[in-house]
Structure 1
Amino acid sequence: MAMSAVARETVFALRRQIAKIEGTLPERLQLPAGAPLDAGVSADVTSNTDLTIVRRGLAAALPDAFLPTGVERLDAALSGGLPKAALSEIHGGQTRDAGAVAGFALSLTSLILKQAHGLPVLWIGTSEIFGEAGFPYARGLHAAFGIEPGQLLFSEAPRLVDALWVAEEAARMTALAAVILEIRGNPQRLDLTATRRLHARAASAGRPVFLLRQAAEPEPTAAPVRLIVASAPAVPRATITGPLAGSIGRPAFTITIGKSRTALPGQFTLEWNPDERVFDERWGEERRSEERRAGRAKNPVAVVSLPRGRKDPAAASGAILAFPAVGSPDAISPTARDQSPPGERAAHFGPRRAG
């Protein structure tokens, strides 16, 4: 009986520790008076600043705890966006998806730097990773993502164990806006314990840590969110007169939710707008047709209205008249056409008479 109670207490302690690591444990938070709470949680107010958050289905979190992508459907599926103080996985199914994974990570970095007030971002990888996928192009960083080359720091480690050590030390630093760790495959050193350390230090520092994984299979980790990224075909550039044939439009990504706090599956096609530095969702052909039909139903009038006080333009005449060619005897010069014949005066110079 005593052994059964001890075992039960041990199981409860392990469950509590796992819930604490995953961020699903109710905690007492010190918040300023009047601070808003998430709609999905309730609170027992013990004083003006001391709140006991009671979890209701999901972990209690403030709205500012997430990095929204700006795509409404994706943010709703992720319960607000990517967590700011946590480890997030970004997977590429194949080695050729490394460019898409890096581009998506740079897009997220651009969103983070809008709120980071000049803090740099550290990108960590092994010599094998950077030798295979290369480094981001410095001039392209500013043109496509608005990132100054001095804001993106790189750490090239000779071995995976060194890269993990650098990532763990950097994850606790509040002087960095974010930490990016890029790893290839499913190495044994990147086990559940290693990801728990990264997640715990990210939560302690209040900074996001993005784990980029090339050609990796999903496996148990402490990251609450896992996104699978692949490149999507670019559409032609949009102009006033319509799509420009033969052109290449904005970069696009296919995002699949592999793991999230809400456990809601979904696949989205996002386009990165380098001018406004935001994500836009690309709709399928069926959804675009629905949007066009809805737009016509809302706006049944013509796009350009007719001038006020004027009738509709007359229909085109069915007969075509041929005028004498310029220089022929029958042609009348513009000067002679505008003048009255000798001995007569124009009608508008005198009163009009009838009868």
Structure 2
Amino acid sequence: MAMSAVARETVFALRRQIAKIEGTLPERLQAPAGAVSDAGMAAADRTVVRRGIAVARPDAFLRTGIGRLDAALGGDWGGDLGGGLPKAALSEIHGIETRDAGAVAGFALSLASLILKPSLILKPSLVLKQGPRLPVLWIGTQEVFREAGFPYARGLHAAFGIEPEQLLFSEAPRLADALWVAEEAARMKALAAVILEVRGNPQRLDLTATRRLHARAQSAGRPVFLLRQAAEPEPTAAPVRLIVSPAPAGPRDTVAGPLAGSIGRPAFTISIGKSRTALPGQFILEWNPDERIFDERRIGEERAKNPVPVVSLSRGRTDPAAAPGAVLAFPAIGSPAAGDQPSRQQRAAHLSPRRAG
């Protein structure tokens, strides 16, 4: 029995709503008229719903310029869009530890620099004119800015090409106020992007709050970046989650070659924690402050440039390591005999509590 027109449109509406929540829109493909299926009914009554890039705008994604990363993030299903971060969406940028806040902020500023790049638009008079450069709003609480600080104005212009008046800050006394400001700012088309920086995993930033931010970003067609300091992954409405940590900088390139002992471009280690393609991956990106683009550094090149292994900090230990002592060929004067217990004064200093500083 052929499906009625009302029921078919209801199914299409439900599928479209689900695809909108997932961040993709369905494309309706009608079968050729007159074709007959195996069941004997007209194939024109059947409609295939497919999600793909055919309905996506060419500017729907913010491309990092790194093909492998953009393809892994989603948006590249065989077309020429190249994928990348969805512009009209909420995207999470995580820092596992508090000390990674500088790398997270630097990566967010790199994305803001890509968004604020001067764009040329074609007028009816066939004259190329630079498009408007909208500001970016950075929202955080007093605790966040006290811990990580504010970006340096002169560094913004030198490293990212961002003018001081293009980066606005909103310091809220509480997280509830910061979320309210972010929701109101996310709906404004007078902003190029909205950055909300949060510390840890607060209970107020739940799935409902991130759904509101994601819906506002979709409605305004502007990206909202959620920066997380020392946060654990949890369910959110963001279709993309990136985990950012600092990578060792390579030597500075000169005409004569790499300059030994120098510090080159800032580098970031990017791990994909969540994406629409569900493809894991780890990338090392270098930010080129001159051309304002990303360059990829291969993992093998990273080891070749930095042959000395980097030892991670120890964690989960209850006591500090024992202090090294001198090895003597004969017992020291006044040392206890074998089997005797040392006195309290003779115990090692590391066994007693010490006050730092």
- Check whether the contact 1:24–1:59 (CA below 8 A) recurs between aligned residues: no
In structure 2, the residue matched to 1:74 is 69
Aligned residue number for residue 111 of structure 1: 114
1:1-355 matches, cutoff 5 A: 18-26=18-26, 54-56=49-51, 60-79=55-74, 80-114=83-117, 115=119, 117-285=132-300
Letter in 2 for 1:186: N
Q: CA–CA distance in 1 between the matches of 2:51 and 2:14?
A: 21
2:332 aligns with none
Q: CA deviation at 1:61?
A: 2.2
- After superposition, the C-alpha distances for 1:65-84 in whole angstroms (9 at most, x for unaligned) are 00000111111111200001
What runs of 5+ residues in structure 2 fail to find an aligned partner?
Answer: 1-11, 33-46, 75-82, 120-130, 305-357
Structure-2 separation of matches of 1:225 and 1:244? 37
Q: Matched residues in 2 for 1:237 and 1:25: separation?
A: 45
Cα distance in 2 for partners of 1:187, 1:59 equals 39
Tell me the TM-score normalised to structure 2 length. Answer: 0.68
Pair 175,163 (structure 1): closer, same or farther in 2 beyond 3 Å: same
C-alpha contact (below 8 Å) 2:140/2:197 kept by paired residues: yes
Distance in 2 (CA, whole Å) between partners of 1:82 and 1:44 is 33
CA distance in 2, matches of 1:64, 1:14: 26
Contact 2:244-2:269 within 8 A present in 1 as well: yes
Once the 2 structures are TM-superposed, how far is the Cα of residue 288 of structure 1 from its aligned partner?
10
* Residue 95 to residue 286, structure 1, CA distance change in 2 (3 Å): closer
Instruction: State how far apart, in whole Å, the 1-side matches of 2:138 and 2:280 are.
Output: 29
Pair 1:131–1:64, CA change in 2 (3 A): same
Q: Give 1:57 shift.
A: 6.5
1:63 aligned partner, one-letter code: P
Rounded Cα–Cα distance in structure 2 between residues aligned with 1:78 and 1:236? 29
Separation in 2 of the partners of 1:287 and 1:172? 41
> Which AA in structure 2 matches 1:71?
I
Supply the RMSD in Å over aligned alpha carbons: 2.7
Question: How many positions carry a matched residue from both structures?
Answer: 259
Structure-2 separation of matches of 1:117 and 1:210: 21
Contact 1:122 1:155 in 2 (8 A): yes
CA distance in 1, matches of 2:275, 2:48: 21
Q: Percent identity?
A: 84
1:268 and 1:244 mapped to 2: Cα distance?
Answer: 24
Counterpart-to-counterpart distance in 2, 1:281 and 1:146: 20
Task: State how far apart, in whole Å, the 1-side matches of 2:248 and 2:185 are.
Answer: 35
The separation in 2 between residues aligned to 1:124 and 1:95, in whole angstroms, is: 18
Worse-superposed segment, 108-117 or 52-61: 52-61
> Does structure 1 conserve the Cα–Cα contact (< 8 Å) formed by 2:239 and 2:275?
yes
Question: In structure 2, how many angstroms separate the alpha carbons of the residues matched to 1:168 and 1:217?
Answer: 23
Q: Residue 24 of structure 1: CA displacement?
A: 3.4
User: What is the CA–CA distance in structure 1 between the aligned matches of 2:54 and 2:175, rounded to whole Å?
Assistant: 33
Task: In structure 1, give the amino acid aligned to 2:244.
Answer: V
What one-letter code is carried by the residue in structure 2 that aligns with 1:94?
A: E
